[in-house]
Amino acid sequence: MKDLKKKPYNHDLQHLYDDLLDLQRWIIAHGKRVVIVFEGRDAAGKGGVIKAISEPLNSRYTRIVALPRPDEREATQWYFQRYIEHLPAAGELVLFDRSWYNRAGVEHVMGFCSDAQYRRFLADCPVFEKLITDDGIILLKYWLAVDQAEQEQRFTERATNPLKRFKISPVDLAARDQYAAYGKARDAMLRATHTKWAPWFVANFNDQKRGRLNVIAHLLERLPERVPPDKPLQLPPLKDKPGREKLADQALWIDERF
């Protein structure tokens, strides 16, 4: 299947944006708490789909969480502790660009945690997710699947594009030789943490545009409730004639170069 072109992608995305806005109105109006977790291999497209989802939404009620590696203090905490503070309050949607599942993936494969810590995570994670979903949090978990050849192509693009080079870390480079190990860790993670209260959904992200549309359409199906948009506002006429903005003399205008 050929990659989706930009024009049809943007056309379909705009229609999905209308539904995303209706969904957010429902989340806010009914005080829902929604968490969407995105996991996948390096360069799978997590940041792109999160950006696509959040772009039309009210940023006051939408948060993106992409945590750095834990500091010395966080490393001594209960593993789930630093993620808990980022869970949503009423009316909020939280999008995790990687999440507590770091322990089942990069930490395990790259040796950043002990085998005992890894096995404890696989046992504790379903319990943790049962606790938060029983408390009313809506949790959706997506694994973005990408083939190794496609992943390598994206790594090459990032390495040669100065605007994308920041996306490649030393850990990413070291992980390139661990493709099979990551696949094995992924399968173990899915077997241990795929539950009826927090199932995993796998999306094909070899074509990122098509993958984004499929994920957004799926999450809209999983959260089918909507609040219809308000009627257009009728702005009252201005009391004074519109004029140019006037500023204090101390303010400096920038040069208009474009």
Q: What is the CATH number of the domain that holds 211?
A: 3.40.50.300
Q: How far apart are alpha carbons 87 and 34 in whole angstroms? A: 9
Q: What is the pTM of this model?
A: 0.90
Q: How far apart are alpha carbons 9 and 212 in whole angstroms? A: 9
Residue 242 lies in a domain: no
Q: Are 40 and 106 in contact, with CB atoms under 8 Å apart?
A: no
Residue 15 lies in a domain: yes
Residue 238 lies in a domain: no
Host domain of residue 161: 6-222
**Mutual angle of helices 208-222 and 46-54, in 10-degree steps:** 50
The reported pLDDT for the residue numbered 7 is 96
Residue 176 lies in a domain: yes
Got the DSSP string for 204-258? E-SSHHHHHHHHHHHHHHHS----PPPPPP-PPPPSS--------TT--PPP---
Q: How many domains does the chain have?
A: 1
Nearest to 130 by CA among 89, 85, 80: 80
The reported pLDDT for the residue numbered 77 is 96
Q: How far apart are alpha carbons 172 and 164 in whole angstroms? A: 13
The sign of the CA dihedral 203, 207, 212, 218 is: negative
* Number of CB atoms found within 10 A of residue 122's CB: 16
Q: Are 115 and 182 in contact, with CB atoms under 8 Å apart?
A: no
- The edge-to-edge listing of strands for the beta sheet with 200-204 is 62-65, 92-97, 33-40, 138-145, 200-204
The reported pLDDT for the residue numbered 221 is 96
Q: Which two tokens stand for residue 34?
A: 């929604």
Residue 56 lies in a domain: yes
Residue 203 lies in a domain: yes
Q: How far apart are alpha carbons 101 and 205 in whole angstroms? A: 19
Residue 154 lies in a domain: yes
Residue 77 lies in a domain: yes
Per-residue pLDDT for the chain (258 aa), expressed as one digit of tens each?
A: 789 999 999 999 999 999 999 999 999 999 999 999 999 999 999 999 999 999 999 999 999 999 999 999 999 999 999 999 999 999 999 999 999 999 999 999 999 999 999 999 999 999 999 999 999 999 999 999 999 999 999 988 888 888 888 888 888 887 788 999 999 999 999 999 999 999 999 999 999 999 999 999 999 999 988 787 778 888 888 888 877 777 777 777 788 899
